[in-house]
Amino acid sequence: MDKEILKELVLPRHIGFIMDGNGRWAQKRNLERSEGHKAGAQAFRRICDYASELGIEAVTFYAFSTENWKRPQKEVDAIMNLFREFLEEAQQRSDENEERGVSIRFIGDKSVLAPDLQALFERCEKQTSSKNRTIVNLAVNYGGRAEIVRAAKRLAEKVAAGEIEPDGITEQSISEELYTAGQPDPDLIIRPGGENRISNFLIWQSAYSEFLFTQTLWPDFYEKDLDEAIIEFCKRNRRFGGI
């Protein structure tokens, strides 16, 4: 993006990405679906780096939903191996990530993942926890409804323990029990791939998000596409229920 244009724009603080179209990208090229996921992982890395360069406060990538376990085991295994590769690469790029000020966080229920993946996730989070330029949320085994149920259970436990009264449950208290607690809600959610739905992604946090659906398949999503999305976002009039 032209730096002069950047100076004139109020950038979104938090952008969500529904990374869609990896399988179709591969099929169009007569490749295995796993090759599409590899290409999608490359898109994830470049958009992460670019968002950090722009100074976006938080970015959330929908990497693996609670529903994705229904996919063929071969494809699920390939995706899990890509997570391992990303985590190992993050270890190797620790100095670069530190310079960028990137904090990597994983949102979703990690308890059902392989023990080695859980350990890698925790190590990566710990190593980058002190960084505060850009938070990169990777949603793994994540579902928006499940996240709200988790928050409700945690608040119910506090009520049962006498820590709060039922009347003390507010929108703010629910937000504080979500995986994204302490982060701004997403201003903009982008879904490449040609589908026009949010698929259980950040459904509490996206109450006032702007949405952008594009035909571009995720592996073909580049910095210029994010530029165009941000420019489109900045043209919109966000009234939050006002006039």
pLDDT digits (tens, 9 = 90+) for 206-240: 999 999 999 999 999 999 999 999 999 999 887 76
Share of the chain above pLDDT 70, in %: 93
* Active-site residue, from 68, 81, 109, 227: 68
Give catalytic status of residue 20 as yes or no. yes
Give catalytic status of residue 68 as yes or no. yes
Distance in angstroms (rounded) separating the CA atoms of residues 164 and 156: 9
SS3 content of the chain, % helix, strand, coil (to 5): 50, 15, 35
Q: What is the per-residue pLDDT for 47?
A: 97
Look at the block and give the residue holding tokens 């937000």. 175
Mean pLDDT of the 195-200 span:
97
Q: What is the pTM of this model?
A: 0.93
pLDDT mean across residues, the chain = 92
pLDDT tens, position by position, 146-161: 999 999 999 999 999 9
Q: How many Å is the maximal CA-CA distance in the chain?
A: 59
DSSP state, residue 201: S
Q: What is the per-residue pLDDT for 3?
A: 54
pLDDT-wise least confident of 17-21, 130-134, 140-144, 186-190: 130-134
Distance in angstroms (rounded) separating the CA atoms of residues 90 and 1: 26
Judged by phi (left if over 0) then psi (alpha if -120 to 50, else beta), residue 101 lies in left
Give me the architecture of the 11-143+185-235 domain, per CATH: 3-Layer(aba) Sandwich (3.40)
Q: What is the per-residue pLDDT for 131?
A: 80
pLDDT tens, position by position, 110-128: 999 999 999 999 999 998 8
Q: What is the per-residue pLDDT for 228?
A: 94
* Active-site residue, from 20, 49, 185, 225: 20
Q: What band does 99 get if pLDDT is binned at 50, 70 and 90?
A: confident
**What is the Cα gyration radius of the chain?**
18
- Cα separations in angstroms, 174 against 17, 66, 137, 158, 180: 23, 21, 19, 12, 11
For the chain, the domains span 11-143+185-235
Q: Determine the 3-state secondary structure of 190 from DSSP.
A: strand
